[in-house]
Structure 1
Amino acid sequence: MTVAGPDPGLDPVVRESTPALIARTLRRAISDGIFAPGTQLGEAGLARSLGVSRGPLREAMQRLTQEGLLVSHRNRGLFVSDLSAEAVEDMYLLRTTVETAALGRVLDLGLGPVTADALDAAVDAMAALADEPRSEAMVGADLDFHHVLVEAARSPRLSRVHETVLVETSMCLHAMRGTYSDAASRLAEHRAIADAVRAGDADRSRTLLVEHMRDGLDRVRERGGAR
């Protein structure tokens, strides 16, 4: 009888801890606007709703506090972080930094064509929602495009940081109920970035991405999404 030994070609199965699963659930609820900025999160109520004990819930909430998604107010409790004008500007600064770094890595690795295919698929998903440019589904499809770009860089650290900043971006866009009155300009901006990535044009890709981020921040300011 042959007994299989350790196979270096197999990755170990990673099982998420209960606090990690709770953190993911809360992160998604914040991202989707279920818990709006400034909302107080009561520990007892959350534990009942999620069907978990307070120990792992506290650990999960601590993780989100470290990520900046929750903030503790002395003698008052934990609240979803608010969206001040300074916080939104800082959020877009971080997004721009992370996404341009990911873009550079994608092109350095010669992954432009395959990444562009994935980006085009994300734009196609947005195009299918063209009749509802301010919907939650469109917000999600928009952010999926940027998620695809950063994941294509194959950098766990960039991905980890980007996950948090995308939650903050989603909070902002949900609070504002979108920043585009029509889908045409939104689709054009994203498609142009994908085209530049496919062409392997690093300078144009970066310029388009930075302009897209600047435009997003301007739209937030104009619509009063930051307080």
Structure 2
Amino acid sequence: MSRQGDQLAGDKDLLGRASISERVADVLRTRIGEGQFKPGTKLSEDEICTALGVSRNTLREAFRLLTHERLLVHELNRGVFVSRPSADDVADIYRVRLLVECAVVRSLGEPPYALDGLADAVAAGERATADSDWDALGTANFHFHRELVALAGSPRIDEAMRTVLAELRLAFHALEDPRALHSPYLDRNRALLDALRKGDTAHAEDLLERYLAHSSENLRLAENGSATR
């Protein structure tokens, strides 16, 4: 089994929960969000069907779902490829993040909050930094924001933001120095977690607004080779 099959082989057991095509799409969406399928990668029907134990028709329906979400693109007579977000796509993603993530923090009731997932993501980021594994640090940051959105307790928001964050992760792959993009945000994640532990949602929202503004600008600069801390 080649690399795509290896990456998906452990996911077959996850396919026991919604319609098969939706579950396949969720597996692929997660793998894209975790940085394992890079922009421009051609997806192999044979490998993925074998790894997940699904039919071609099921996989093609999953491809259609993810194409609608802008995570994949179908090229006539060539196949299905992982998308490459444009600068306009990235700007729009950050508009969505600002609206949704800040609203989640603003809407939190009285503490304590369920912060174990956020704390686990920070710890994963610290391990990745110690190992100089910048892809893993990006994945930890991805999980931090998924856990942040999960505080809203809304499956619909969770589903929407999984797609938004997965699409954003694709933009990160175009950068030559992922360390410069991801490493500043570990300290910011710690500060945000600390504010939420104290129940200070106003401060947490302010931190998050500045966080997203800095991240958006840093990504723009990184695309031009001049990312800053």
TM-score (norm 1): 0.78
Deviations 1:68-100, CA, capped at 9 Å, x for gaps: 211234555433221211111111221222211
1:70 pairs, out of 69, 72, 84, with 72
- Runs of 4+ that moved beyond 6 A: none
Shift in alpha-carbon separation, 1:142–1:225, aligned structure 2, 3 A: farther
Amino acid across the alignment from 1:124? A
**Alignment partner of 2:82 out of 76, 80, 83:** 80
Mean Cα displacement is larger for which, 151-160 or 32-41?
Answer: 32-41
- The answer to whether the Cα contact below 8 Å between 1:33 and 1:175 also exists between their aligned partners in 2 is no
CA deviation digits over 1:151-203, x for unaligned, max 9? Answer: 111011111111111211222234435243784x4332112212222333333
| Residues 5-55 of structure 1: per-residue CA shift (max 9 Å, x gap) | xxxxxxxxx833321232123223323444322333354564455443211
Aligned to 2:112: 113
Question: In terms of Rg, which structure is larger?
Answer: 1
Q: Is the 8 A contact 1:96 1:210 kept in 2?
A: yes
In the alignment, the residues of structure 2 paired with residue 23 and residue 41 of structure 1 have an alpha-carbon distance, to the nearest angstrom, of: 13
- 1:115 counterpart SS class: coil
What's the offset of the Cα at 1:206? 1.4
Tell me the distance in 2 between the aligned counterparts of 1:35 and 1:124.
24
Paired residues, number:
209
- More displaced stretch, 16-25 vs 162-171: 16-25
- 2:172 corresponds in structure 1 to 173
Pick closer, same or farther for the CA change 1:155–1:28 going to 2, 3 Å: closer
Q: 2:96 pairs with 94, 97, 101, which one?
A: 94
Say whether the 8 Å CA contact 2:149–2:158 is kept in structure 1.
yes
Counterpart CA distance in 2 for 1:169 and 1:66 is 16
Distance 1:95 1:225 in 2: 22
Between 160-169 and 22-31, the greater mean CA deviation after superposition = 22-31
Unaligned runs of 5+ in 2: 1-15
Kindly indicate whether the alpha-carbon contact (under 8 Å) linking 2:85 and 2:168 is maintained by their aligned counterparts in 1: no
- Report which stretch shifted further, 30-39 or 215-224: 30-39
Q: Secondary structure at the match of 1:41?
A: coil
Q: Mean Cα displacement is larger for which, 198-207 or 215-224?
A: 198-207
CA contact (8 A) 1:115 1:198 kept: no
1:52 aligned onto 2:51: no
Query: What does residue 212 of structure 2 align with?
Result: 213
2:7 alignment partner in structure 1: none
Q: CA RMSD in A?
A: 2.8
**Aligned counterparts of 1:145 and 1:57: Cα–Cα separation in 2:** 29
Cα distance in 2 for residues equivalent to 1:173 and 1:136: 10
TM-score (norm 2): 0.77
Moved more, 187-196 or 149-158: 187-196
Q: Percent identity?
A: 37
Q: Which blocks of at least 5 consecutive residues in structure 1 are unaligned? A: 1-13
